[in-house]
């Protein structure tokens, strides 16, 4: 038993000294529990910004409008149809409800009143939550008026010019995530080269250090273009996901996003002394961005206290721009904001990387 106990104690000591192993065993599962718990435990707090256009002044139409305003999860804004539809396309509304002229007169004459509902098909919570709430409200209002049959009908219309599927919105998100992973994991080769004193030897040569760094960055950018091309090609060939926007703008956003995450990876390499210490740092950066950046879960479903984190994550802005360009999704932010935030991350991380990077 004594040799067994000695070996057991030795294994325990070795494991406790291995910080990456401790991270994977304890911290990594806890990150998942906390992230998913925060995302899904407060779903009842979701609020939808809804535009309401009432073009009929009849008592029935006004009564239906009041019923819509009384829905707790709706933040209702009344306005003109053109202005509200523009707000929907800009991402400031999740749906626009139009009660047209003649709504009340048609119901009073024994017919049905039609309500137009414009929405963004790319917002999954709108399709899964908002539209069912509207249908239920229309049914309840109908029976409150006639007690016999439905008299309010909904004409649901997506603001996208073509009929889009979930895969059409999923592919741009996967592209953004792939660029993020390719960029931040550029830290690993740098850390390994520094550990093996390769960077020290290169730094001792007449070759300027900026040339060494530039060649590494350009190499990563070339890989990002190849990666993006493969993802877009497979999406088109297998699932018929078409790019509806400007190809040059798409290429520019791919390069900007890739450069931003490469510089973030270099910043990690500046502070990580070994490959083992770099991996936990990269995991801590990678997984919050994956699950809070809107790739897998809609941003509007996040709890309020996570919104500042979501708004700070660069992947949120890259994914938003790629969806707008590729499939015409409504904007969470304008392209100008997305480019400005990614550019800000790029500049700040570049300055910090230059300041703190060590060649040995």
Output the pTM of the full model.
0.68
- What pLDDT, in 10s, does the model give residues 216-234? 888 888 889 999 999 888 8
Tell me which of 23-37, 51-65, 132-146, 271-285 is least confident: 23-37
Structure tokens at 1: 């038993």
- Residue 257 has what pLDDT? 94
Looking at the chain, the domain(s) classified CATH 3.40.1710.10 span 45-158
List the strands of the sheet with 74-78, edge to edge: 74-78, 48-54, 95-99, 113-119, 152-158
- What pLDDT, in 10s, does the model give residues 236-253? 888 887 787 789 999 999
Alpha helices in 240-274 (DSSP H): 247-271
Model confidence at 44: pLDDT above 50: no
- What pLDDT, in 10s, does the model give residues 85-96? 888 877 778 889
Between these two residues, 310 and 18, which has the higher pLDDT value?
Answer: 310
- Residue 89 has what pLDDT? 78
Model confidence at 259: pLDDT above 90: yes
Model confidence at 327: pLDDT above 80: no
- Residue 330 has what pLDDT? 66
Q: Give dist(CA 112, CA 142) in Å, integer.
A: 9
Tell me which of 13-22, 69-78, 255-264 is least confident: 13-22
Name the fold adopted by 45-158: abc type-2 transporter like fold (3.40.1710)
Model confidence at 163: pLDDT above 60: no
- Residue 38 has what pLDDT? 58
Instruction: Dump the DSSP string for 72-87.
Output: TTEEEEE--HHHHHHH
């Amino acid at each position: 038993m004594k040799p067994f106990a000695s070996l057991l104690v030795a294994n325990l000591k070795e494991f406790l000294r291995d910080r990456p192993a401790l991270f994977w065993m304890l911290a990594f599962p806890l990150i998942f529990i906390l992230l998913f718990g925060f995302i899904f435990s407060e779903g009842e707090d979701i609020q939808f910004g809804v535009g309401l256009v009432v073009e009929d002044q009849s008592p029935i139409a006004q009564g239906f409008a009041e019923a819509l305003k009384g829905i707790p999860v709706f933040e209702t804004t009344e306005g003109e149809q053109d202005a509200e539809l523009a707000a929907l396309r800009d991402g400031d509304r999740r749906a626009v409800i139009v009660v047209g002229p003649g709504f009340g007169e048609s119901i009073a004459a024994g017919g049905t009143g039609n309500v137009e509902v414009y929405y963004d098909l790319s917002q999954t919570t709108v399709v899964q939550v908002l539209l069912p709430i509207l249908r239920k409200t229309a049914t309840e209002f109908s029976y409150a008026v006639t007690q016999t049959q439905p008299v309010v009908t909904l004409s649901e219309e997506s603001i996208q010019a073509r009929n889009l599927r979930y895969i059409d919105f999923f592919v741009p998100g996967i592209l953004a995530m792939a660029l993020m992973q390719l960029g931040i994991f550029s830290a690993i080769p740098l850390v390994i080269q520094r550990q093996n004193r390769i960077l020290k030897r290169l730094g001792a040569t007449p070759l300027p250090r900026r040339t060494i760094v530039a060649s590494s960055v350009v190499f990563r950018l070339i890989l990002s273009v190849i990666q993006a091309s493969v993802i877009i090609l497979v999406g088109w060939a297998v699932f018929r996901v078409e790019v509806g926007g400007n190809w040059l703008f798409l290429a520019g956003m791919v390069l900007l996003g890739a450069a931003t995450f490469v510089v973030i990876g270099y910043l990690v390499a500046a502070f990580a002394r070994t490959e083992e210490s770099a991996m936990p740092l990269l995991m801590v950066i990678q997984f919050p961005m994956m699950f809070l950046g809107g790739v897998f879960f809609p941003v509007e479903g996040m709890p309020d206290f996570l919104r500042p984190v979501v708004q700070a994550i660069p992947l949120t802005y890259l994914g938003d721009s790629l969806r707008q360009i590729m499939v015409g999704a409504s904007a969470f932010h304008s392209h100008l904001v997305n480019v400005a935030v990614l550019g800000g991350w790029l500049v700040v991380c570049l300055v910090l990387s230059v300041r703190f990077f060590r060649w040995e």
